[in-house]
Amino acid sequence: MTAKPFLRMLVTTLALAVAPLAATAQTTAATTAATTVAPDRSATGGATTLQDILERQKGLQVDDSYRSDALGDPAHAAPITNPLGSLGGVSQADDWRALRYNKADVTVSSHGPASDVLIQDSGMTWLKFRQGPLATYGGWALIGMLGLLAVFYAIRGKIRVDGELTGRKILRFASVERFAHWLLGGAFILLGLTGLFQLFGRLFIIPLIGHEAFSPMAVAGKWVHNNVAWAFMIGLVMVIVLWTAHNIPNKHDLKWLSVAGGLFSKGVHPPAKKFNAGQKIIFWAVVVLGISISVSGLSLLFPFQMPLFAATFEHLNAWGLPQAVGLGELPTQLAPQTEMQLAQIWHAIIAFAFIAIILAHIYLGSVGMQGAFDAMGSGEVDEQWAKEHHGLWLAEVKAKQSKTE
């Protein structure tokens, strides 16, 4: 599979995951596919019926185009001499519906990209999702990962070097590589902690310390999150430049994966170059999730300047993917605030997945494996460690050394 179709498939998969949110958060007049037969509205003169209300109460999707499209008829306005003729074919109810569905031709004297959206009601959906499923499932995902790592440690213990340590050190990562790693990693930890603090602060911290103490901490956390993000992005670019060539999959990866890298059994050491298949999975996860979280983060850092979702949904609709999974066409006209809400939700979903993966990485790079931290600490590892975990890379390094001598 070449890179382009793979990337397209990946983006599509990620975007489809957030599509239901978009459908519910949509506030403009895009017509949603009704799941039920449209009721006969002749008795109400085309207005809302009891069936509409009941279906909405059951949480079913209601095609409300009968409201969003009922914006008056200036072309057939009654003569001005007639009763209500001075309204020009547009009643006040029509005006309010136009505002409600963002179809009104609004002129405002204030500045700002979103200032002409006078009614926007997807904020409640966003808030409920953020405080409900996002916090609940995201929180449990992190706890679940910590639990898995604890169980793994209890069963396998620390993965030790099987052979005798030689005492001969070999440079595994140059200083620039270690700098890039810690720039990215240090920034990630700060961003993860401050992000979780913002999301769970109201739930867990305020009951402990109160609003007054929490407020300056939240402000400080926001400053750290917004500004440390730049260090994260610089670190991400450095890591991509330094390590992409070493992370191209090769035939040895299949062998490594077939024995799970020897993680679950002592004395098993599949051959690996500079990075083994497990590290390559982590690397590509960091690249994909890192780019996605950076782009959505930039969209949040510069409000209303980088709307992402309407354009993405347009592409997805053109490929027919949302329709293929029964979502119908995704909305392609989103209010600026809705774009921001979707960016925040997406940013957080990616963050939870990212943190869960990096927890496993931190575990293996510290308490989980003897000698692993040295590779990123001092940069040097024992030859025996290198032989067991990166045998092919050690052979390459030794061959280079013998050539230069």
Partner 1 sequence: MKSMYLAFLAIGVVAVLASVGLGYVGFSAQDMTSSSNVRLSQ
| In the complex, minimum distance from the CB of residue 301 to partner 1, in angstroms, rounded to a whole number | 7
DSSP state letter for 47: S
Closer residue to partner 1 in complex, CB, 181/390: 181
Closer CB to partner 1, 185 or 262, in the complex: 185
Answer positive or negative: Cα dihedral of 128, 130, 132, 134. positive
- Pick between residue 256 and residue 385 the one whose CB is nearest to partner 1: 385
32 vs 299, beta carbon nearer partner 1: 299
The beta-strand segments (E) located in 140-266 are: 169-171
Which CB sits closer to partner 1, 277 or 369? 369
User: Which residues on adjacent β-strands are paired with residue 159?
Assistant: 369
Least distance to partner 1, CB of residue 324, Å? 36
- Report yes or no: 342 and 21 within 8 Å, Cβ to Cβ: yes
CB of 221 to partner 1, least distance (A): 13
Distances (CA, A) of 240 to 112, 236, 249, 390: 36, 6, 15, 21
Nearest approach, Cβ of 278 to partner 1 (angstroms)?
Answer: 22
> Please, what is the minimum distance in Å from the beta carbon of residue 145 to partner 1?
24
Q: Which long-range contacts (CB under 8 A, 24 or more apart) does 159-165 make?
A: 159/263, 159/364, 159/368, 159/369, 159/370, 160/370, 161/370, 161/371, 161/382, 161/384, 161/385, 161/388, 162/266, 162/267, 162/269, 162/388, 163/384, 163/387, 163/388, 164/384, 165/382, 165/384, 165/385
CB 274 within 8 A of CB 252: no
> Whose CA is closest to 191, among 179, 202, 183?
183
Contact call for residues 10 and 289 (beta carbons, < 8 A) = no
Within the chain, what is the greatest distance between any pair of CA atoms? 103
382 DSSP β-pair partners? 169
Interface positions with partner 1 (CB under 8 A): 108-116, 118, 175-176, 178-183, 186-187, 190, 223-224, 226-231, 234-235, 301-305, 376-379
Cα 108 to Cα 361: distance, rounded to the nearest angstrom: 51
Q: Are the C-beta atoms of residues 162 and 267 closer than 8 Å to each other?
A: yes
Taking the complex as a whole, the smallest distance from the CB of residue 171 to partner 1 amounts, in Å, to: 12
User: Which DSSP state fits 201?
Assistant: I
Phi, psi of 84 (to 5 degrees): 65, 5
Closer residue to partner 1 in complex, CB, 28/32: 28
Which is closer to partner 1, CB of 114 or CB of 395?
114
CB 99 to partner 1: min, Å: 13
For partner 1, which is the closer residue by CB, 292 or 299?
A: 299
180/316 with CB nearer partner 1: 180
